[in-house]
C-alpha cells in the first residue's frame, strides 16, 4: 500500500493523467461566479441524487464549482484530536497539582501530553505532505489545505470548536474564510433532510451574514420538497453571484486599460494560455477566474511590449519576456 502511494508507478500515473487532461483547451475569459460548496460531509462531495445533481446543475447554469477535498475532513479530525487532548489534560494528567520542585511529576505531566501532541502533529505533517505532493504532480492548480487553526479562529466568535457533531465549526469557518479572503462569490451548504449538526450551523450563519454584508450564503436540504424547488432557490442566489462576478470582471478589465478583444487576440497568439494547467497567479481581493486571468494576461502583454520596445534600442539590456 505504501509503495502504491509513494513509488514511481504512482507518480507516473499522475503525470499521465495530467498530460491527457492538459490537451483540453479552456477559455478563462468566460465570466463565471465561483460557488464554494460546504455542508454535511457526504452531501457536499457526492455527485448524484444525494445532492440533487447540484454540481451538474451549477455548471450548466454557468458557475465554477469549488468542492472541499476529503483531505480537509481528515485534517479537521487530527486538529480536533489535538485540541481535545489539550483541553482535557488538566483532568487526564497523571499528577494533579505537583509542587514546582517535584521534577519527576512535572516532567511526567509535560511529556504525557506532548507525546500525544507530537504524534498527532507528525500525522498532520505527513498528511499535508502527501496531499500537496499529489497536487503538485497533478498540475499544481488545486488550492492547498486551509490551515485548521485559522478556520477555528474565524469560526470561534460564532461557533465553539468543541461543539461536536458533523463538521462542527468547519461550515462556519469555511464560510467566513472564503468570504474574507474573497475566494468565491457564493457559498452553498448542502445537507440531507434532518441533518441536525448542519442545520445547527445554518442557524449560526445568520449571525455571520449580519457581520459580512456582502456574503451570499444559501443552505439547501435534499428534502421531500424535491429537486426542482432546490434548483429554483439556487438559481435565485446564483443570479446575485453572477452580477457580483460580472461587476468584479468589468472593474478588473477596465483597470488594465485594454479591451477584451485585445486580450483575446493575445491569448490566441499564445496557446499555453489556453491550457488547463497553466498557472494563473491569485490576486488578493479578486475571486473570479476570468478577472484574475485578464489581469495576468494584461501584465504579460505589458512585459512583452516593454521587451519589444527595449529590443529596438541599441545597448539596452532586454529582460526576459513572460
**Enclosing H/E stretch for 291:** helix 289-311
So what's the pLDDT on residue 287?
94
**Enclosing H/E stretch for 320:** none
Q: Comparing C-alpha atoms, which of 85, 83, 241 is closest to residue 170? A: 83
Look at residue 292 and tell me whether its pLDDT is greater than 50.
yes
Confidence of residue 266 (pLDDT cuts 50, 70, 90): very high
What does the alpha-carbon distance between residue 75 and residue 82 come to, in Å, rounded to a whole number? 11
So what's the pLDDT on residue 196?
76
HSE-up (13 A, CA, CB side) for residue 121: 9
Mean pLDDT confidence for 147-167: 89
**Enclosing H/E stretch for 270:** none
Residue-wise pLDDT tens digits, 271-283:
999 999 999 998 9
So what's the pLDDT on residue 310?
59
Look at residue 223 and tell me whether its pLDDT is greater than 80.
no
Confidence of residue 62 (pLDDT cuts 50, 70, 90): very high
- Are 165 and 197 contacting, i.e. CB atoms less than 8 angstroms apart? yes
Residue-wise pLDDT tens digits, 21-52:
999 999 999 999 999 999 888 888 888 888 89
Domain ranges (residues) in the chain: 1-30+257-322, 34-68+166-240, 70-144
List, in order, residues 6 or more apart from 154 with CB less than 8 Å away. Answer: 172, 173, 176, 177, 180
So what's the pLDDT on residue 6?
64
34-68+166-240: CATH topology: Rossmann fold (3.40.50)
So what's the pLDDT on residue 322?
47
List, in order, residues 6 or more apart from 51 with CB less than 8 Å away. Answer: 43, 44, 190, 222
So what's the pLDDT on residue 203?
81
Share the mean pLDDT of the chain: 88
Residue-wise pLDDT tens digits, 177-188:
999 999 999 999
Burial class (CB in 10 A: 0-12, 13-18, 19+), 3: exposed
List, in order, residues 6 or more apart from 221 with CB less than 8 Å away. Answer: 191, 192, 193, 194, 195, 199, 230
CA of residue 184 relative to chain centroid, distance? 9
Helix 289-311 to helix 227-256 angle, to the nearest 10 degrees? 20
Amino acid at each position: 500500500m505504501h509503495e502504491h502511494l509513494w513509488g514511481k508507478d504512482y507518480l507516473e500515473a499522475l503525470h499521465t493523467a495530467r498530460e491527457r487532461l492538459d490537451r483540453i483547451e479552456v477559455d478563462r475569459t468566460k465570466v463565471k461566479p465561483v460557488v464554494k460548496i460546504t455542508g454535511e460531509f457526504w452531501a457536499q462531495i457526492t455527485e448524484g441524487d444525494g445532492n440533487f445533481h447540484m454540481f451538474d446543475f451549477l455548471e450548466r447554469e454557468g458557475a465554477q464549482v469549488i468542492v472541499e477535498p476529503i483531505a480537509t475532513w481528515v485534517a479537521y479530525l487530527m486538529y480536533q484530536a489535538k485540541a481535545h487532548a489539550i483541553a482535557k489534560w488538566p483532568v487526564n494528567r497523571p499528577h494533579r497539582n505537583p509542587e514546582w520542585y517535584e521534577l519527576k511529576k512535572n516532567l511526567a505531566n509535560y511529556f504525557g501530553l506532548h507525546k500525544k501532541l507530537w504524534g498527532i502533529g507528525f500525522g498532520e505533517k505527513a498528511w499535508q505532505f502527501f496531499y500537496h505532493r499529489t497536487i503538485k504532480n497533478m498540475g499544481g492548480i488545486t488550492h492547498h489545505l486551509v490551515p485548521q487553526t485559522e478556520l477555528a479562529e474565524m469560526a470561534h466568535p460564532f461557533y465553539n470548536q468543541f461543539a461536536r457533531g458533523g463538521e462542527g465549526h468547519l461550515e462556519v469557518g469555511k464560510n467566513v474564510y472564503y468570504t474574507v479572503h474573497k475566494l468565491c462569490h457564493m457559498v452553498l451548504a448542502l445537507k440531507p433532510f434532518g441533518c441536525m449538526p448542519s442545520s445547527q450551523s445554518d442557524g449560526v450563519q445568520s449571525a455571520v451574514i449580519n457581520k459580512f454584508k456582502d456574503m451570499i450564503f444559501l443552505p439547501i436540504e435534499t428534502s421531500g420538497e424535491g429537486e426542482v424547488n432546490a434548483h429554483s432557490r439556487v438559481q435565485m442566489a446564483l443570479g446575485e453571484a453572477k452580477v457580483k462576478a460580472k461587476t468584479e470582471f468589468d472593474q478588473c478589465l477596465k483597470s488594465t486599460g485594454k479591451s477584451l478583444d485585445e486580450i483575446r487576440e493575445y491569448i490566441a497568439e499564445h496557446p499555453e494560455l489556453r491550457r488547463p494547467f497553466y498557472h494563473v497567479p491569485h490576486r488578493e481581493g479578486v475571486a473570479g477566474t476570468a478577472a484574475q486571468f485578464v489581469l495576468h494576461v494584461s501584465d504579460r502583454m505589458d512585459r512583452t511590449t516593454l521587451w519589444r520596445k527595449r529590443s529596438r534600442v541599441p545597448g539596452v539590456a532586454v529582460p526576459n519576456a513572460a
